[in-house]
Amino acid sequence: MAIYIIKVTTNKEDRALEMIADRARKKQLAVQTVVRPHGLKGYLILEAEDRDAAEEAAYNLPYVKGILGQDVPYEEVQSMLEPKAEEVNIEANDIVEMIGHTSKVKKQKSHE
């Protein structure tokens, strides 16, 4: 499998991702994954068997501007796909805020 960078219209990454994934599924293309990296506007990462499959999946779709260069090694995109967790030192009696997926904020006091 090879990894390709797809240039798309900024703020239309989600829609472009859906269209590429739909086309790959309908045409049964050798596309493994399409990902929108967090914090990287205007680009998608696509994993496909070869460049032909990647081009066919993205060809002539709205919001898709093209494939950048050749395939890239995984090491170059790894930091965008696997965010590093920050180590946080919480001591007894510290007050922490916990934010869930519903954006509700809860304040708690830590215990030993």
Q: Sketch out the chain's domains with CATH numbers.
A: 2-81 (3.30.70.940)
Question: What's the pLDDT score for residue 16?
Answer: 96
pLDDT band with cut points at 50, 70 and 90 for residue 69: confident
Q: Where are the beta strands (DSSP E) in the chain?
A: 2-8, 31-35, 43-48, 64-72, 95-99, 105-109
Question: What's the pLDDT score for residue 84?
Answer: 73
Which residues are bridge partners to 46 per DSSP? 4, 34
Q: Once rounded to an integer, what is the mean pLDDT over residues 57-83?
A: 89
Average pLDDT, the chain: 86
**Do the Cβ atoms of 48 and 67 come closer than 8 Å?**
no
Tokens of residue 94, six digits: 């510290």
